[in-house]
Chain A
Amino acid sequence: MLRYFLKRLGLALVTVGLIMTITFWAMNAVPGGPFEREKAPEPRVKAVLEARYGLDKPIGQQFVMYVGNVLRGDFGISLKTGREITTTILTGFKTSAKLGAMAIVVAVFFGLIFGMTAALFRNRFPDRLIIFLTTFFVSVPSFVLATLLLLVFSITLGWIPVWSATDRHMLLPVIALALYPMSYITRLTKSNLLDILGQDYIRTARAKGVAGWLIVVKHALRNALIPVITYLGPLTAYILTGSLVVETVFTLGGLGREFITAILQRDYPLIMGTTIFLSVIMIGMTLLSDLIYKIVDPRITFS
């Protein structure tokens, strides 16, 4: 168990290191620096600026400096706003985390309920409706869904204000983010539940007279939950990347929007900081979901 955990942790750390290297070298491969856009400053001013941000040192040295700073939790200063990147990331992340957490809860909760319904009403109307809808939601990109929701509910129907500072404002973004993973979880739960309901131990439970709903909740659902746990890692990744566009569409000041703005403005330190931050979260969630999976399912052996 411990050995498995350490091995996974090691792989995760290697991945984070790889990401830091990729981001750093990639950003340096781009022709043109941050001070060469629009109005280029005088050479002397530029030299001072570059010296201030350490851009005049050899690239290898810059990288070592950067890694050292990151390990101390210091991502540097944004080249555009002059603010500390750690502050920017943390402020943005508050909104994104709230949005993401709500979307995950919604996706898992409704995914399980719909999946259960579809499995229990197999080949009848509820099943067909649910499968039709989920197939539809899986085929529409999140940004299209987000814009369509905005169009229908905020603009045409006027139910939810486009601009508002309250939590009601989060409703549409959460739906836009959650629909795809919800559909995925629905299909996953349905196929697993159908598989499990055909097992011998379910027949045993039936034979000894356990009530129908109790069989589903106590015997079948527990086992159907296991694959959903493994999906939590990819789910987080999806929610985080999805929030990049959803936040842009709904103009929420989250981390996703910061990232897109940083890329469009070529704000190197902010791009690298955000990428590393988001990557660590994604990798951490994958690690966590794999670990929970191994703990929850006693049939899995550690190797």
Chain B
Amino acid sequence: MHDKTLAQQSQMLKSSQTSSVELVNHYLERIERLNPDINAYVSVNADEARVAAADADKTRAAGNAGALTGIPIAHKDIFCTKGITTTCGSRILQNFKAPYDATVVTRLADAGVVSLGKANMDEFAMGSSNENSYYGPVSNPWQRDRVPGGSSGGSAALVAARLAAAATGTDTGGSIRQPAAFCGITGIKPTYGRVSRYGMIAFASSLDQGGPMAQTAEDCALLLQAMSGHDVRDSTSSTLDVPDFSASLDRDLKGLRVGVPTEYFADGLDDGVAVAVQAALAELEKAGAILKEISLPNQQHCIPAYYVIAPAEASSNLSRFDGVRFGYRCENPQDLEDLYTRTRGEGFGDEVKRRILIGAYALSAGYYDAYYKKAQQVRQLVSNDFTEAFKEVDVIAGPTTPTVAFKSGEKTDPISMYLNDLFTVSANLSGLPGLSAPCGFSDGLPVGLQLVAPVFEEARLLNIAHRYQQITDWHAQSPAGTD
């Protein structure tokens, strides 16, 4: 049952081959058995899930079910859930119970989705390996000594290990796509503004975007449909109409112009990854797409620009974690200064502290122009590259990551870790939608194909990935030892 995709489970529920309660119990049993080894969940809310599943079955019996009614998923622990602990992977929120649900959580619940629990993540979504969680690292289900990617590493690992039909994730520099690639699943980062950020704990507000992670593009389409749309609580959420993502999944790819940036196949790209991605591009060509070499000349500048902008925003976003109104407070603060510095010193992990300091430095008097303003100008150049490229192509394709999943503890210096985001950050800097779909293996580890489209063209990404998944079965493979 757990190897079925979300869409297939939806059909089974519809035809009464199974019930939500049955599905939920099945997953809860698997979580109990398999999660201790993978650590993909930081918390499981079995009781609430069973109640919600029973409700979903009643809704179905009453004839009011939608495609997602009764489907069990997990939420990345960055999404606030009313009455259920939301840690964001941090000590500073160890016992934090938000008094509200994130809009994504509300919308999925309204669509009938059942939440099984909260997924592990890098602290405050800062990381590419899920080694930065206060609640312990997550193992990659394909090879347990490998990282699952990050920051939505728990979400990716639990979908790969079939511990839920799908999960929510967030993506600031690749945090949905990179772990999706490392774990052999499908994940989409929507256009900035497509999905409400309300109740999603902010890392870098101008880059953050929530999205679904599941086995297939078809599954992602169903979830994204429920997650999308204007939210009066988020002034950056788009007021544009949301198209029917499922309706266009089967569109023919004939004549589709696929841009392949030369910069994505340069030095630093792992051979095995290159081979798998080239093969995927060849499949698209066979399906009628036209491949076209393009250039994104400022691609190489993305990482330095990102590592100014994201920490700058984060340093300010994380100021509210001060031990006054919620969250961790240090023992016996002597005075205000002591309250702040010890609460934050003890509450935040090393990577979070590093980024707060980089960000504060980049914004501080005398350095603003050289760092922050410069990075914003470069951001504009990166964005302009896409504008130019999309005059000639409909979509851009390439590898999601330069390598497959690396070993835990292997990358000790921050820079080598940051370079993992090489191909993914540009979509965040430009606000564009990006998707990663499994496209093969290298050394027994999954490889991801990344697709990037113009703003608000998620339907196109889902369509291409879906067609690709009709002619390949990489997405259907599951890791050994997760039966």
Q: Do A and B bind each other?
A: no
Q: A residues engaging B (CB < 8 A)?
A: none
